[in-house]
Chains A and B, each alone.
Chain A
Amino acid sequence: MTWYETAIQILLIGLANGAIIALVALGYTLVYGIIELINFAHGDVFMLGTMMSLTMMTWVPSLLGVRRASQIPEPLIPLLVIGTLLVAMVACALLNMTIERLAYRPLRRAPRLAPLISAIGVSFILVNLGLHWKGASPVDFPSPHPSLNTDIFRDILRITTPIFFTVKDLFVILLAAPLMIGLSLFVTRTRLGKAMRATAQDREAAAMMGIDINQTIALTFLLGGALAGAAGLIFGLYNNTAWYLQGFRGGLLAFTAAVLGGVGNLQGAFLGGLLIGVIAAASDFLFDPRWTQAVVFGMLILILVFKPTGLLGEATPERA
């Protein structure tokens, strides 16, 4: 492999992983933008999204009388994937909204560390739910179709190259991109999106203009949860594994991405997610996969120390 082939390979792996990270990072950034809370439990909502999808992907085939998802009739497979996506999105959206209602809303006027501690508590509760649901060791996530592992360059385009780019990688990007574009359009083009932006900018003034603040914040959590649910399914399809601790680690990666892009900024989260994906892939190649997490967390510290506003963010003064 020449150096540029390695670079392309890193970019391709990074893009697929980065798309998943970006979906989760959007949830962090939406919530931080509107109530300035690091929603610590968000990573675990994402984890439960994977668990939910896993349950769907094993339960539905068993209803049809086959053992594995890849054995159900060919035309039903896209339906299964889309159905699972919708179920995971709705479940995570409702879960995230419930969390906001129970654990964060009563603390909205408390000092800012109080909701953060509450969020850590919620995160632990969700991790424990995941542990009870699917056990302590990683579980296999069924692949719905064997063609997902086909290599695009060699098997489809017939190009001789050492670079791997499977249908699965493309599939991840194709699933994630419309969700992100949809969210962006929702926030910039709709009335509710405008209400969200207004609430983020000045909650009191927004309330005086007749915006229902509670409803708007609940909507934000709903959107963030839906994206996390989608990311959960995509993560499972891409990595073929589900683990109750994936939310903690994945959540920190995504939070790093949100901070890198400038927390509170949607394009920033998107950009940050892709960058973190590429950086993690590069670190896998250059050092050792065992060091990748330390590299990313080290980067998080460096970004927060030297450029806490991130790449695209604006300065936020501390409020007590």
Chain B
Amino acid sequence: MADESRTGRPSDVQPSPPEDGRVGTSAAEPRAREASVDDPTPLGAAPSTVARDQPEAQRATAAQHWAELSERRRNQILIGVFAMFVLLYPLLDRAFGWQRMGSMNPILIFVLLALGLNIVVGFAGLLDLGYAAFFAIGGYTVAFLTAPQSPLVQAGIQADFWIALPISFVVAATFGFILGAPTLRLRGDYLAIVTLAFGEIVPQAIRNLEWLTNGTKGMNPIGRPHLGEIELLASDQIPWYYLIVAVSALSVFIILRLQNSRLGRAWMAMREDEIAAASMGIDLVRTKLLAFGLGASFSGFGGALYASMLQFIGPDQFQFDVSILLLAMVILGGIGNIWGVLFGGLVMGAFNFIWVESAAGFVRGLSATPGLGFLAIVDLNNSKLMLFGLALVLMMLLRPEGIFPSAQRKAELRGAKPATATTVAGVQESLHDARA
């Protein structure tokens, strides 16, 4: 690793190297940037807080000690700290009086969805702009099986939440295959538009098929999960929190196994170069189809949990901006890197569900200050879309690989193969025939 140059001479070690601040400088120093990504300071809060009161030399040894750990070991520690935080969050929330449990649950469900979208966008490199449609399908599957307005339930077919959950997983995957089968031969940007159109059709159909879905009035109440005799009530957030964490952890485990499997390697090979992957014997259509279907299936989990937690489902919960929020989560954290997506998902989720309101209050407070009265017209709650949009544009311009990129994806997006961009392989489509 590039860290060796630093650990070799302890006297040169900077106490707090602020290297991660230079986001998106020239592409000429990939090694240095790699070092900044692995740098202990952004996340390794534990060693640096210990060292804060100690003399410089000893602080350096703490950082040095951290740097000497193998990358695998460091990642294990970081994941351990992260897992502890997630598991203990309800206690922390209560201890510090944050009152954020009600926001944490939707955030985690969105993170779960982002993980599913990451399979399609990050692993397989297929841009899906209609992921909210699969989310809706997952949620409505549970609603059909449990809510009193559903024709199925009225016909006497009612299922328990625990049965409906895997069914929604399967139904969402099936729709993924159904949409994927005819469209996956399309080129990247056309595929994006097809998924976008699908994402528009599904809420519209839900809105219009009133006999089936109860239209815009939606369905409620939706079946709740229960453990033995105890039902999870909508009012009690903490059991929900642990249920969502458990499903997310299971999903992360499955996705990690998928990533390192034969299929996961095939996805990445295909993403990097379809022709090379095909000539190595990878069945492109089958591989893409599996990415689409499996990616969609995790939104089945998300939809089921979301509908059951809110006890209500309606077509307006699944608009286009949901798809874009999820895409922003994946892109911000680091396309293709599960830990990056977890991070990006939490940040964007917290931003969407918590910070916008607090920041809006802050700005309103500022506007009372003399000279800053113009700030009164800025309503951040109404500016969410603009902030998402800015996040997408700035990420693409400054750091297209995300904050914590996967190594391969970074190489690809940083234009490691400039040849493909300049030597146009095929004949470009013409506005008109210039020979005429």
Contacts and interface: CB of A to CB of B under 8 A. Distances in A.
B52 interface: no
Contacts of A51: none
Contacts of B129: 120
Interface in B127-142: 127, 129
Contacts of B201: 293-294, 297-298
B194 to A, nearest CB: 5
A297 B197 contact: yes
Interface in A250-286: 252, 255, 259, 263-266
A89 interface: no
A182 B413 CA distance: 40
Interface string A233-255: 00000000000000010001001
Given A34-B431, A110-B415, A317-B427, A116 B192 contact: yes
Interface string B346-380: 00000000000000000000000000000000000
A318 B431 contact: no
A188 interface: yes
A257 to B, nearest CB: 13
B200 A297 contact: yes
A212 B391 CA distance: 31
A66 B193 CA distance: 46
A217 to B, nearest CB: 12
B400 A114 contact: yes
A110 B413 CA distance: 7
Contacts of B428: 36, 200-203, 316
Main secondary structure of the interface of B (DSSP, over half): helix
B182 interface: yes
Contacts of B280: none
B321 to A, nearest CB: 8
A84 interface: no
13 contacts: A34-B431, A36-B429, A111-B412, A125-B386, A200-B430, A200-B431, A203-B428, A264-B431, A290-B207, A300-B197, A305-B182, A317-B426, A319-B424
B434 A122 contact: no
B189 A33 contact: no
A320 B415 CA distance: 11
Given A110-B415, A290-B208, 11 more contacts: A33-B430, A33-B431, A113-B189, A113-B192, A114-B396, A136-B382, A202-B428, A204-B424, A252-B196, A297-B200, A319-B426
Contact of A301 (B183, B415, B418): B183
Interface string A75-119: 000000000000000000000000000010011011111111110
Nearest to B190: A304
A109 B430 contact: no
Chain B interface bracket (under 10, 10 to 19, 20 to 34, 35 or more) = 35 or more
B80 interface: no
A187 B436 CA distance: 12
Nearest to A318: B187
B186 interface: yes
Nearest to A305: B182
Nearest to A129: B386
A197 interface: yes
Contacts of A48: none
B392 A120 contact: yes
Interface in B179-219: 182-183, 186-190, 192-194, 196-198, 200-201, 204-205, 207-208
A263 B426 CA distance: 16
B393 interface: yes
Interface string A121-132: 111111111011
B425 to A, nearest CB: 5
Given A114-B400, A114-B413, A313-B429, A293 B424 contact: no
B250 interface: no
A218 interface: no
Contacts of B188: 112-113, 318
Interface in B380-436: 382-386, 388-393, 396-397, 400, 412-413, 415, 417-418, 420-422, 424-432, 434
A73 to B, nearest CB: 35
B327 A293 contact: no
Top 3 A-B residue pairs of the complex, sorted by shortest distance between their CB atoms: A121-B392, A124-B389, A317-B426
Contact of A314 (B388, B393, B396, B429): B429
Contacts of A12: none
A226 interface: no
Contacts of B384: 128
A136 B385 CA distance: 13
A204 B423 CA distance: 8
A237 B383 CA distance: 29
A171 interface: no
B305 interface: no
B331 interface: yes
A187 B431 CA distance: 9
Contact of B393 (A122, A293, A317, A319): A122
B389 A320 contact: no
A222 interface: no
B382 A128 contact: yes
Contacts of A265: 429, 431-432
B175 interface: no
Contacts of A304: 183, 186, 190, 193-194
B177 to A, nearest CB: 15
Contacts of A263: 429
A308 interface: yes
A25 interface: no
A197 B431 CA distance: 6
B189 A116 contact: yes
A117 B393 CA distance: 7
B320 A248 contact: yes
B424 A202 contact: yes
B189 A117 contact: no
Most buried by A among B188, B418, B428: B428
Interface in B116-166: 125, 127, 129
A172 B432 CA distance: 27
A38 interface: yes
